A and B are shown apart, each in its own frame.
Chain A
Amino acid sequence: MTGLAISGWRIAMTRLAIVAIVLAAWEALAASGLLFRDVVPSLVAIVQALWRLLGNPDFYANLGITGAEIGMALLIGGFAGLAAGILLGANRFLSRAYEALVYYLGPTPKIIFFPVMIMWFGVGTGSKIAMGVVSCFFPIAISAASGMRQIDRVLIRVGRSFRASAWQMVSKIYLPAMRAPLVNGIRLGLGVAIIGTLLAETKLSNRGIGYLIIQAYSTFDMPRMYALLIVLFVLSIGANAIISRLGAAKSPRAA
C-alpha cells in the first residue's frame, strides 16, 4: 500500500489527544450547567463514585451474582448451541429441516421472552440465566453450524478412514478445525448473554449489576450510574478481547 507508515508513537499521541479533548469537553459541559442537574456530572464526581463503588463489598457481591448468571447462561447455552450447531452442520437433512428456524429466530429481540421466563423460572436468578441462555444459544449454534460446513472435507475423510468414533471425530477433528468461527461465535454469544442477563436484571430483580444500575437511575444518583456503566463496559470489552486473543493464539506461522 502506498503512503508513509505512521509510527505507533503518533497514533498513541492522537489517541491521547482525542481522549483529552473528550474529557475536557465533558468537564466544560458539566460545569456549564447547560443540561439539567446531573446528566453530565463532573469527572471528579464520577471518579469519586467509582472509587466508592470499587471499595464497596456489596458491589462485588452483586458483581458475583451477575457474573455467575452469565457464566451459567454461557455454559448451558454454549453446550446446547454447540451440540445443535454440530448436528446441523454435519447432517444435510437436519440442516435443511431445522437450520432456517435457528437462523431466522436469531435476530429477534430476546428480552420480550422475559415475562415467559419469569413464569417458568421465577423472579430470581433462574429467569435471568434463562434469558442469557436464550440469547447466546443462537449465535453459537449458527457459527458452529457454518463452522462445521467450512471444514475442509478431506480432513473428515481422513478421520473416517482411520475409523474414528463420533466423539473422537468431534473432539479431534471438528472442534480443532472450526476453532476460529467457533471462538467468534462464543465471543458474540458472550456479548448477547451479558446484554440479555443484565437487561433482565434491570427489568425485575433485586440483585446484580443490572439492578444496581436501575437503582441508581431511580434514585437519580448519576455519578454512580456512570461508574457502574464504566465498570460494565470495561469488563465486557475486556472479556471480549480475552476471548479474541485466546481464539487467535497458537496457529503455526505460515512459512
Chain B
Amino acid sequence: MAAQRDVSSDRAPAVTATREALLAVEHVSKRFETSEGVISAVDDVSFSIAPGEFVSIIGPSGCGKSTLFNIIGGLVGDYEGRVTVGGNVIHGTHPAIGMVFQEESTFPWRTVLDNVAFPLEIAGVPKQTRLERAAHFVSMVGLSGFERRFPAELSGGMRQRVALARTLTSEPRILLMDEPFASLDEQTRLLLGDRVLQIQQALRQTTLLITHNLTEAVQLSDRVLVMTYRPGRLKRTVEIHLPHPRDSEVVSSDAFGHYLAEIWHDLREEASRGIKEDESRVLHGRGKA
C-alpha cells in the first residue's frame, strides 16, 4: 500500500498564480438525504479557473463530479460554499455559464440549425441574424451541410456536436461539460476531442470538463483535478505541460504516458475504493449504488 498521501498539502491552489480567476469554486459541499442516511457527495471542494484555461475534473463513478457539474451550472441548489464568476457570487443558472450534458439533449423535433439557433431564439434575436450566427457555429463543429437534418438522422457523435454548437452559440464565458462523449467509442472520442480542443483554442473558451476518461483529460486539458471517491474531495492537481496546438497524435508520446501514469496512481486508489463499497453494498442488501 502506498504511503498515505497528505491530501491537504496536495490541494489544488485556489487561484492560479498569474491571472485573475474567471470561475472560482470556494469550499463547496453538498449533502444528500437518502434512505441510507446522509451522504456527502461533495466535501469542501475549492478550485479556480483562469480565463482561456481548459480544466478537467476526473474521478471514479460516485465521486460527486456530476453533482459538482449541477452545482456550478446552477441546476442544484442548497449547498454550502459559493461559486463566483468574475468575482461575483452566482446563485442558480447564470448566462455566463453554458452547459453541455452527458445524455442526448438535442431537441428531436428541431432541425440541426434550429437546435443550434435555440439560445438566440430565446434571446429574441431576429430570425435572419440568428440563423446566420447559428450556421457559423454549425460549421465550427464540422456539421456544414447538415443544417436541415433532424437529430434522429445523425449519429450519436454528431448529435453531441450539435449540443455543443448550441451551447457555444450562447457565447458563454465558461463552458461546462459533463462527460459529453461518454456514450461514444474510443476512436470517435479522440477525434471529437481534437475538434473540441481546436474550437476551444480558437475561441479562447474557458472550459471545465467533467470526465472519467484519463486519456481525454490529459489530451484536452491544461490542468487536471483528481477527485476522491465519496465524499468527493479534490485529491490532487496535475498541470499538463503538453504544447499547443495539440492533436490526438499526442496520445502516443512519452510525456503523455507519464501524465497518465501520474494521474492513474491517484485515481486507481479511489476507483478501487468505489468498487469495494459497491460490492459491500450489494452484499449487505442495500441495493445498487
Contact = CB atoms under 8 A, between A and B. Distances in A.
Direct contact between A and B judged by beta carbons closer than 8 A = yes
Contacts of B282: 255
Contacts of A255: 282, 287-288
B75 to A, nearest CB: 10
A5 to B, nearest CB: 13
Interface string A233-255: 00000000000000000000001
A3 to B, nearest CB: 14
Contacts of B287: 255
A253 to B, nearest CB: 10
Interface residues of A, number: 1
Nearest to B287: A255
A255 B287 CA distance: 6
Interface in A173-196: none
Contacts of B288: 255
A110 to B, nearest CB: 37
A193 to B, nearest CB: 39
A255 B288 CA distance: 7
Nearest to B75: A2
Nearest to B285: A255
A207 B287 CA distance: 57
3 contacts: A255-B282, A255-B287, A255-B288
A80 B1 CA distance: 69
A102 to B, nearest CB: 30
Interface in A206-255: 255
B67 to A, nearest CB: 15
* A-B complex: 3 closest residue pairs judged by Cβ atoms: A255-B282, A255-B288, A255-B287
A255 B278 CA distance: 13
Nearest to B288: A255
Interface string A48-66: 0000000000000000000
B76 to A, nearest CB: 10
A216 B288 CA distance: 60
A255 B279 CA distance: 13
Interface in B265-289: 282, 287-288
A157 B287 CA distance: 32
A127 to B, nearest CB: 49
A25 to B, nearest CB: 41
A142 to B, nearest CB: 27
A60 B131 CA distance: 72
A254 to B, nearest CB: 9
A117 B288 CA distance: 58
A255 B284 CA distance: 12
Interface string A112-123: 000000000000
A255 B282 CA distance: 8
B142 to A, nearest CB: 36
B280 to A, nearest CB: 14
A17 B84 CA distance: 49
B204 to A, nearest CB: 36
A165 B235 CA distance: 62
A255 B285 CA distance: 8
A255 B281 CA distance: 11
A9 to B, nearest CB: 21
A98 to B, nearest CB: 32
A255 to B, nearest CB: 7
B35 to A, nearest CB: 14
A23 to B, nearest CB: 41
B287 to A, nearest CB: 7
A43 B288 CA distance: 54
A255 B283 CA distance: 11
Nearest to B282: A255
A1 to B, nearest CB: 14
A90 B211 CA distance: 46
Interface string B131-175: 000000000000000000000000000000000000000000000
